[in-house]
Amino acid sequence: MRGGMKDVYFGPDKSYVVAFYRDKQDYNSRERLKKLVTQYYDSFFNREGGDYYKELYCWPTDMVEVDGKVGLVVPAYNKNFFFKKGYATSEGIKGKEKQGLWFASAKFRNKQFTLRLDESELGNWLSYFQICVRIARGVKRLHAAGLAHSDLSYKNVLIDPVSKSATIIDIDGLVVPGLYPPDVIGTADFIAPEVLATKHLNLRDPSRKHANRTTDLHALAVMIYMYLLYRHPLKGGKINSLDTEEDDLLSMGEKALFIEHSTDTSNRPKLDQVSKWALPWADVTKLPYTLTGPYLRTLFDQAFVTGLHNPILRPNADTWEQALLKTTDLMQPCSNTHCEQKWFVFDNSASPKCPFCGTPVKGTVPVLDLYFEFKPTIWKPENHRLMVYHNQYLFQWHVNRHVVRNEKLTAEQKIPVGYFTFHQNKWVFVNQKLTSLKDLTENKEIPVNTMVDITDGKRLLLSKEEGGRVVVVSMANK
């Protein structure tokens, strides 16, 4: 295949490709590539947790030279990153790479659109949270190593909603701050406003802004917003110039404005101007960003209001990861079997319902607020709650605050410790592994393989060990 800068050839067994640069690479460029396949490869993959990252990045493994041309040896993508089916109406994209752009747009999932994706490829709403967690972890690890991606976009991230996996590609463009400047300005839609606002300046002008860690954070926020809401956070109805090219430059650069800004509504999408295929997602009144829950709402405000033109205030990748994970604890499965999204973030309002299909929540739903021991006998809320649904698991990272839910979890830590179920017309928790579970309300121990009723006001000590939490139950939708 012929890419933008390279010609790509399969290896004989198709397990790897060799990508040759068409242009001659200077000394600096060669040194950078050499570092990527040796020093950085080693620090990412040849240590604890390396296997997790091997799946998360498509990282070059070697550098070769033939007839003066520099090439990189790169592993071939996993099979799940290629479409198994074509469009719902034709073979079309069967066998093509699952670039994220296919999944970040409303039209490719619109039942009336001819080129819509086959339903079996789409996953459900929860799948995209799990994908975003992986992408955030990938960005977090790059930044921890002092690297920036420089062209983070849905073209350089392959995703598979079915297996809930993602892989970051185009690693050869990584920026090592102060050592190797970026080759590219980025992909339209994901370029940070400060980069666009200064791109007219000379390449070496000290005022010109280049791709770096904070521009990655803008791109990450845009990607998360698009994967969850299938629209762009800055592309609204406001016109900043009658010249199309200049308007685009201003709207995404110097004059960029969040389409769901709470006080300045001038960039709201105008529904009579949006494509019919973009509905209902383009309607920010019907499907506002607040339906992603309180943790993500705060981060979207940080990314697209306070941090939009002030890069230092953008949320970092670890903050996104934790907010996404905490939001999955607020999710409920929709009881409507025909609901396209299948999951939603529970909104504890007077009459909670699925925001996507309008199906009301039936019956009472237990809400567990997590508390930690601030000082001996003094317990404080952790700003973390768990919404309960039938047959939902409880894990060690809920039980003990010293177990952090991240990529370093051991196989043992991923095993559920118990589950909630609606049994004989009441909610119960079945204890499978907790050795010091105590019902504080009734003042009695709950041994392994027994169950405890989950009722309004119930307090449970999940573990007596250091870091063990208490949960307080309240019943929603009573």
- Which range, 12-26, 40-54, 229-243, is most confident? 229-243
pLDDT for the residue numbered 86: 77
Which CATH number fits the domain that encloses residue 188? Answer: 1.10.510.10
Q: Which of 306, 329, 352 is the last residue of a domain?
A: 329
- For the chain, what is the mean pLDDT? 91
pLDDT for the residue numbered 133: 97
| Within a domain: 168 | yes
Q: Do both 224 and 370 map to the same domain?
A: no
Q: Which of 46, 76, 106 is the last residue of a domain?
A: 76
pLDDT at residue 327 is higher than 80: yes
Residue-wise pLDDT tens digits, 390-400: 999 999 999 99
Which CATH number fits the domain that encloses residue 55? Answer: 3.30.200
Q: Do both 325 and 400 map to the same domain?
A: no
pLDDT at residue 478 is higher than 90: no
Q: Are 416 and 393 in contact (CB under 8 A)?
A: yes
Q: Do both 171 and 117 map to the same domain?
A: yes
pLDDT for the residue numbered 27: 83
Please give the torsion angle defined by the CA atoms of residues 305, 311, 313 and 316, in that order, rounded to the nearest 10 degrees: 110
Q: Do both 41 and 121 map to the same domain?
A: no
Q: Do both 297 and 216 map to the same domain?
A: yes
3-state secondary structure (DSSP) of residue 54: helix
| Within a domain: 456 | yes
| Within a domain: 450 | yes
| Within a domain: 423 | yes
Q: Are 343 and 126 in contact (CB under 8 A)?
A: yes
Q: Which residue has the tokens 């101007």?
A: 273
pLDDT at residue 185 is higher than 90: no
Residue-wise pLDDT tens digits, 330-357: 999 999 999 999 999 998 766 789 999 9
Query: How many domains does the chain divide into?
Result: 3
3-state secondary structure (DSSP) of residue 362: coil
Closest Cα partner for 395 from 437, 357, 433, 367?
433
Instruction: Tell me the pLDDT band of 308, cut-offs 50, 70 and 90.
Output: very high
At 245, which helix (H) or strand (E)? helix 244-252
| Within a domain: 408 | yes
pLDDT at residue 434 is higher than 80: yes
How far apart CA 478 and CA 365 sit, in angstroms, is 8
Q: Is 146 left (phi over 0), alpha (psi -120 to 50) or beta?
A: left
pLDDT at residue 114 is higher than 70: yes
Which CATH number fits the domain that encloses residue 374? Answer: 2.60.200.20
Q: Do both 96 and 62 map to the same domain?
A: no
Q: Do both 297 and 436 map to the same domain?
A: no
Closest Cα partner for 228 from 324, 85, 304?
324
Q: Do both 87 and 72 map to the same domain?
A: no
Q: Do both 31 and 97 map to the same domain?
A: no
Q: Do both 48 and 89 map to the same domain?
A: no
- 12's CB contacts (< 8 A; 6+ apart) are none
| Within a domain: 451 | yes
Instruction: Tell me the pLDDT band of 179, cut-offs 50, 70 and 90.
Output: low
Q: Do both 219 and 273 map to the same domain?
A: yes
pLDDT at residue 83 is higher than 80: yes
Question: Which residue range(s) make up the domain with 58?
Answer: 1-76
pLDDT for the residue numbered 184: 72
What is the reported pTM? 0.94
How far apart CA 201 and CA 250 sit, in angstroms, is 15
pLDDT at residue 420 is higher than 90: yes
| Within a domain: 98 | yes
Lowest mean pLDDT among 18-22, 92-96, 276-280: 92-96
Q: Are 156 and 226 in contact (CB under 8 A)?
A: no
At 319, which helix (H) or strand (E)? helix 317-328
Q: Beta strand 69-75 with 16-21: parallel, antiparallel or unpaired?
A: antiparallel
Q: Which of 329, 352, 377 is the last residue of a domain?
A: 329
Q: Do both 57 and 147 map to the same domain?
A: no
pLDDT at residue 111 is higher than 90: no
| Within a domain: 405 | yes
Higher pLDDT, 6 or 297: 297
Lowest mean pLDDT among 1-15, 16-30, 250-264: 1-15
